[in-house]
A and B are shown apart, each in its own frame.
Chain A
Amino acid sequence: MHRINGLIKTAITIGIALVIGIIAILLTSSEPGNSIKQFFIGPFSNTYFFGNMIAASIPLMLTGLAASLAFSASAFNLGLEGQLYFGALVGTFLAVKMSGFPAILAIVISIFASALAGGIIAGISGWLKAKWEVNELISSLLISYTLVYVVDYFLEGPFNDPEAGMAASPYMNSNFMLPKILSPSDLHAGVFIAIAVIIFFYFIYKKSTVGYEMVITGRNRKFSNYSGIPVKKVIILSMCLSGSLAGLAGIIDNLGIYGRMIRGYSTGYGWNGIAVALIARNHPLLVIPAALLFAFLESGANVASLMSDITPEVARIIQSVIFYLITAEGLVSFIGKKRREGIKT
């Protein structure tokens, strides 16, 4: 009951946010009709844009899941960006080095290596938290910043492809690339991996003892200790899982779209994953629509700046207006002029 009410409310809130986005376009565009159309319909207008939109949602689904998993155990993993980037480097490196391997084997190893690398990095923050109560929010953030520079160093130096003319790794064997869907768009079979992973984790979260431990620990640590739940293990484990999902999110674009790793290819997947998780209220399955919504806004902005007079900056502004309001629970009652009761005591 409560959940359904919440969903309707969220839907209305998102609706209002989108309407305000439209108003923002009306204010900034000299051909608002076309701009609105490009922004909101553009991503669906042909298979190319549509495929790109879905492709853009893949890493977001995974980082969104990564964030929601950590958050539901009350472990604040803000280092997704670095975990993702580092995981991608490790996975790409192996993929490049394994060029003689059978494709399936290489792909599987590369994916697992990325997940492992991301998991270990996040696990360090979890371990520091469990052992010495080092604030995981800050430690993961600082480690993440460090790693982004370290990975950039590798892409510019030791792991650079001199022929690329930019900071990028050598190409991997093209057989290792995940199958394309809706060619010539960027969409690839990674979308199935992402959805399968989300469903798998949904079951872990809902039905397994590990999921139970994470949820209960996230809600009340004192109660978990009292009940005999191994709280420290749970925190480390949820950070590890979260980091491995980030690592997976990192490698998936390289295997699916680029065939190598390019500096800065992640357009804030880690940060946006946090937003996705918060929009989805940490619910693993709702991460899918939330990531799609996010990717839709991203593609809408791109399409609109290609096909109308809206520049990329303006698109970003419109996008931000929508973000401002997307979680605004109070918007519905505010619009309905029914001010909620004061803070409950």
Chain B
Amino acid sequence: MIGDFLHTTIAMMTPILWAALGGLFTQLGGMLNIGLEGMMLVSAFSSLYTAANTGSLLLGILVGISSSMLLAAIMGYVSLNLKANVFVVGLATNLFASGITVFLSSNLCGTKGTLYFQNAPELSEIKIPGIENIPILGDLLSGYDILDYLVFLAVIICFIIIFKTPYGFHLRSVGKNYRASVSVGISVYKQRFGSFLISGFFAGIGGAALSLPIKTFVGGMTNGRGWIALVAVILGRGNPVGVLMASIIFGAASALSNLFQATTDISPKLLLTVPFLVTLAIMIFYSVKRKKVNAQ
């Protein structure tokens, strides 16, 4: 049971963490990326559709990423070059995504409802020999799909990009004080546009991680995960490890809600609130603690 709980935690966390890593980059550049939800959705559709029709998971994921990055590039262009309000552009992205996915689904697959691709390649669970059978630890460490494992690698890579490379360094400087960055010759535009593209990249994987394992696409299947990712970004305070922690909390709370669903007869609708309430409680807890440590 504990094993199940831990396993569900990680599985629930993965898509959110991918998207949150994307949101982290735009956040570091000083912008709130409302469009994560839409990017995930577009990728969830396009990756699954491609994978099902080509039989290649890799190709599916790549197409998912590209489509999400395309949306990100549009967001970047409209908000940076045309100076539109980034919040409205994000809402437009989400609206566009919800329209285009249903449009494509009905034109390409003939239905606006649930799409299930029986023949789509399996995003198989990787069993780690040796560990697999250890109780609890086996559940915790083994039996995930590749995107679940890769996300931890991605956290490390993001950490390196953000704190060790000139790009991350410049991006952080832009987010903290763009005037200071301009005065040493850093292009705010390039940094921010880059952060949109990276955002699209990771949100794209997040979308694929949503649809590929279940071989299913439904309109609006992201169901607020882009927003939760945004919450994880802000709670993570500019650090990928912080974002990981926040995503784990959310994953655990979702797993808890699943557990209650299986073991109690509280209404499932009410149990759906658990992840949000837990996240809120933890956020308040941290704020109170921080405030106590350095009051005013």
- Residues of A whose CB lies within 8 Å of any CB of B are 128, 132-135, 137-139, 141-143, 145-146, 149-150, 152-153, 156-157, 271-272, 274-275, 278-279, 311, 313-317, 319-321, 323-331, 334, 343, 345
Whether the pair B276, A146 counts as a contact (CB closer than 8 A) is yes
Residues of B within 8 A of A313 (CB): 99-100, 102-103, 106, 112
- A134 CA to B82 CA in the complex, in Å? 33
Q: Which candidate, B5-13, B62-70, B206-214, B283-291, is the interface stretch facing chain A?
A: B283-291
Residues of B within 8 A of A330 (CB): 81-84
Q: Which of B87, B179, B182 has the most CB of A within 10 A?
A: B87
Which of A142, A143, A323, A325 meets B95, CB within 8 Å? A323
Residues facing A in B77-97 (CB within 8 A) are 78, 81-85, 87-89, 91-93, 95-96
- State whether the Cβ of B115 lies closer than 8 Å to any Cβ in chain A: no
- A141 CA to B102 CA in the complex, in Å? 26
- State whether the Cβ of B273 lies closer than 8 Å to any Cβ in chain A: yes
- A152 CA to B279 CA in the complex, in Å? 21
- State whether the Cβ of B113 lies closer than 8 Å to any Cβ in chain A: no
A-B CB contacts (within 8 Å), total count = 139
- State whether the Cβ of B3 lies closer than 8 Å to any Cβ in chain A: no
Whether the pair A323, B291 counts as a contact (CB closer than 8 A) is no
Whether the pair B269, A324 counts as a contact (CB closer than 8 A) is no
Closest 7 CB pairs of A and B: A316-B99, A323-B92, A330-B83, A320-B96, A328-B84, A328-B82, A153-B269
- State whether the Cβ of B119 lies closer than 8 Å to any Cβ in chain A: no
Residues of A within 8 A of B84 (CB): 324-331
Q: Mind listing 20 A-B residue pairs with CB under 8 Å?
A: A128-B284, A132-B284, A134-B287, A139-B284, A146-B277, A149-B272, A149-B273, A150-B269, A150-B270, A274-B87, A275-B88, A278-B87, A313-B100, A313-B106, A316-B95, A321-B92, A321-B96, A324-B78, A334-B82, A343-B178
Q: Which of B81, B95, B188, B234 has the most CB of A within 10 A?
A: B95
CB contact under 8 A between A145 and B276, given known A278-B87, A320-B96, A327-B85: yes
Task: Kindly report which residue of chain A lies nearest to residue B84, judged by CB atoms.
Answer: A328
Which of B102, B183, B231, B269 meets A138, CB within 8 Å? B231
- Residues of B whose CB lies within 8 Å of any CB of A are 74, 78, 81-85, 87-89, 91-93, 95-96, 98-100, 102-103, 106, 112, 178-179, 182-183, 188, 224, 227, 230-231, 234-235, 267, 269-270, 272-273, 276-277, 279-280, 283-284, 287-288, 290-291
Whether the pair B234, A132 counts as a contact (CB closer than 8 A) is no
Which of A128, A142, A271 meets B91, CB within 8 Å? A271
Residues of B within 8 A of A328 (CB): 78, 82-84
Task: Kindly report which residue of chain A lies nearest to residue B189, judged by CB atoms.
Answer: A343
Q: Which of A146, A314, A334 has the most CB of B within 10 A?
A: A146
Whether the pair B88, A323 counts as a contact (CB closer than 8 A) is yes
- A132 CA to B93 CA in the complex, in Å? 34
Residues of A within 8 A of B112 (CB): 313
Residues of A within 8 A of B188 (CB): 343
Residues of A within 8 A of B231 (CB): 138, 141-142
Cβ distance A150 to chain B, nearest Cβ, rounded Å: 6
- A311 CA to B178 CA in the complex, in Å? 44
**A contact patch SS:** helix
Residues of B within 8 A of A279 (CB): 88
Cβ distance B121 to chain A, nearest Cβ, rounded Å: 28
Whether the pair A145, B284 counts as a contact (CB closer than 8 A) is no
Cβ distance B129 to chain A, nearest Cβ, rounded Å: 41
Whether the pair B283, A134 counts as a contact (CB closer than 8 A) is yes
Whether the pair B83, A137 counts as a contact (CB closer than 8 A) is no
Whether the pair A326, B88 counts as a contact (CB closer than 8 A) is yes
Task: Kindly report which residue of chain B lies nearest to residue A143, judged by CB atoms.
Answer: B280
CB contact under 8 A between A343 and B182, given known A146-B276, A314-B99, A334-B81: yes
Residues of B within 8 A of A334 (CB): 81-82
Residues of A within 8 A of B234 (CB): 135, 137-138
Residues of A within 8 A of B287 (CB): 128, 132-135
Whether the pair B99, A317 counts as a contact (CB closer than 8 A) is yes
14 extra interchain contacts, Cβ-Cβ under 8 A, other than A135-B234, A139-B280?
A132-B287, A133-B287, A133-B290, A135-B283, A138-B231, A139-B283, A142-B231, A145-B224, A274-B91, A321-B92, A327-B88, A329-B83, A329-B84, A345-B182
Whether the pair A317, B100 counts as a contact (CB closer than 8 A) is yes
Residues of A within 8 A of B279 (CB): 142
Cβ distance A4 to chain B, nearest Cβ, rounded Å: 20
Which of A133, A314, A324 meets B89, CB within 8 Å? A324
Cβ distance A75 to chain B, nearest Cβ, rounded Å: 15
Whether the pair A150, B273 counts as a contact (CB closer than 8 A) is yes
Whether the pair A156, B269 counts as a contact (CB closer than 8 A) is yes
Cβ distance A196 to chain B, nearest Cβ, rounded Å: 27
Residues of B within 8 A of A317 (CB): 96, 99-100, 103
- A246 CA to B65 CA in the complex, in Å? 37
Q: Which of B89, B276, B283 has the most CB of A within 10 A?
A: B276
Residues of B within 8 A of A157 (CB): 267, 269
Which of A138, A272, A311, A315 meets B283, CB within 8 Å? A138
Task: Kindly report which residue of chain A lies nearest to residue B81, judged by CB atoms.
Answer: A330
Residues of A within 8 A of B93 (CB): 320, 324
Residues of B within 8 A of A141 (CB): 227, 230-231
Whether the pair B235, A138 counts as a contact (CB closer than 8 A) is yes
Which of B78, B81, B103 meets A311, CB within 8 Å? B103
Whether the pair B95, A153 counts as a contact (CB closer than 8 A) is no
- A250 CA to B24 CA in the complex, in Å? 33
